[in-house]
Amino acid sequence: MSIEPATPVSQGSPSANSHPDSAVTDWAIRLFAVLRLSVGFVFLWAALDKTFGLGYSSSGEKAWVNGNSPTKGFLSFVDQGPFASVFNDLAGLAVVDILFMVGMFAVGVALIAGVAMNVAAVSGALIMVLMWAAEWPMAQSTNAGEPTGSTNPFMDYHIVYALVLFALVAVHAGRVWGLGRTWEQLPVVKNRKWMH
């Protein structure tokens, strides 16, 4: 499989391979593909583990297929930040469970396949920002006065994942070791850039 520049190269514009050290650039393109697959696996695994209780974050008896809520355990214990009561009220609602699980699964599959990267980035970033708001890293103590254990007043892994998703879109990471090029040529997708 050949690796082409992330964006079409016009006359006079630099290409990935015009760099004096093109092996580094090709390596970077492959690294973004590995990053895309890795982040996709994080989303997909979280959905599968919560659905089937594969024993990592969810045990078998806490699996969604066994009638347990994948959001209740997290959202019902939110105890810091201005949205704590909102997240507590959302904990365990069927519609919230379905949206969360379908979102995590769909983002994971899209990233691994390298398709619908724009939609996956926006959806995945929304999930991450909502989880960030639930954890509210700016709070140094919970509403009960206990330390939150937050290590940074703003930046945490949720924001980093959201930024990574948009970086993957920017470099067209779905085209390398993925079905991105094929997806983008589908008649229903071709003229709808938001679906790329």
- pLDDT, one tens digit per residue, over 27-71 is 999 999 999 999 999 999 999 999 999 989 889 889 999 999 999
Predicted TM-score (pTM) of the model is 0.85
Using CB atoms within 10 Å of the CB of residue 65, give its burial: 0 to 12 exposed, 13 to 18 middle, 19+ buried: exposed
Q: Do residues 109 and 102 make contact, with C-beta atoms less than 8 angstroms apart? A: no
The helix/strand/coil state of 168 is helix
Distance (Å, rounded) from C-alpha 163 to C-alpha 168? 9
Q: How confident is the model at residue 85 (pLDDT cuts 50, 70, 90)?
A: very high
Angle between helices 94-113 and 117-135 (to 10 degrees): 130
Residue ranges with strand state E in 62-189: none
Q: From residue 10, give the alpha-carbon distance in Å to each of 14, 105, 143.
A: 8, 37, 56
Distance (Å, rounded) from C-alpha 27 to C-alpha 128? 28
Mean pLDDT of the chain: 89
Nearest in space to 68 (alpha carbons), one of 87, 82, 49: 49
Mean pLDDT of 103-120: 98
DSSP class of residue 66 equals: G
Instruction: Return all residues near 189 (Cβ < 8 A) that are at least 6 apart.
Output: 183, 195, 196
Specify the residue for token string 């619908």.
116
In this predicted structure, the answer to whether residue 187 has a pLDDT above a threshold of 60 is: yes
CA-based end-to-end distance of the chain: 21
Six-digit token string for 110: 């899209």
Residue bearing the bigger pLDDT, 23 or 9? 23
